[in-house]
Amino acid sequence: MIGKVYLVGAGPGDPGLITVRGLQCIREADVVVYDRLVDSRLLAEARDDAERVYAGKEPGDHSLSQDAINEILAMHALLGRNVVRLKGGDPFVFGRGGEEAVFLEQRDIPFEIVPGVSSAVAAPAFAGIPLTYRGVSNSFAVATGHACAGAPAVDYVGLFRSAGTLVILMGAARFKEITQTLLDGGADPMTPLAVIERATGSVQRTTVTCLKDAGRDCAAIDSPAVIIVGQVVSLHKIIRWFSEGVLSRPIA
């Protein structure tokens, strides 16, 4: 009998932000294949006899290739095991969950998608930055800051012009290049910008500056980081509610 693969979003960092369905899948899994940024407290929710497989990817250092991860998911499912592929954020937001789903579908392996809270919305929320605000921003765009070989280049200037707020994930390594691209493309140098590092966790750090000073004020960014560009960043000083440095809440 073939098992089933659950592509589960672990959320942005704080283990308390996983969905009820996601937590249920972890607790019932025979195998958990997890990413680098998954909180260890979520792994502790799996059964004692559940197998845990690390599939973390750091910049320039992948413990397993994507092809190897795909094969591991299929192998365990074909052995009749229920497998949780536990991914940071949401599986379908720059998480390669789509590729894994296509791989499983092509092999007639049952799977379920369990959405997670993406850092694209959680990071600004924990920094007191609403992505939309009446009279300030009525749209937002989310882009990757990670350049993939063979993929079309991201038009940061075009996105920023068309959306009220620009959110960039995985952009720490190319931060100066991205901000300079926006400036060269005609963005107002005084446009507010925020960098949120390690969002929703006890070590979250938020730096607020403007586009022209970003290179100086955010000289050393610790990955993972979420970059927010737009006038809504100015609301940080009013709405800021999360006490950075406070331990995150326990899992429900």
155 is catalytic: no
The one catalytic residue among 35, 39, 87, 90:
35
Q: Collapsing DSSP states into helix, strand and coil, what is residue 98? A: helix
Catalytic residue among 4, 14, 49, 57: 57
| 12 prior amide bond cis, ω within 30 | no
The residues near 205 (Cβ < 8 Å, ≥ 6 apart) are 196, 197, 198, 222, 244
Phi, psi of 155 (to 5 degrees): -90, 80
**Cα–Cα distance measured from residue 24 to residue 30, given in angstroms and rounded to the nearest whole number:** 12
C-alpha separations of 176 from 40, 69, 181, 219, 221 in Å: 32, 32, 8, 8, 10
Helices (H), the chain: 20-28, 40-43, 66-78, 97-106, 119-126, 156-162, 175-184, 214-217, 236-239
Active site residue 35: yes
Question: Which residues are tagged catalytic?
Answer: 35, 57
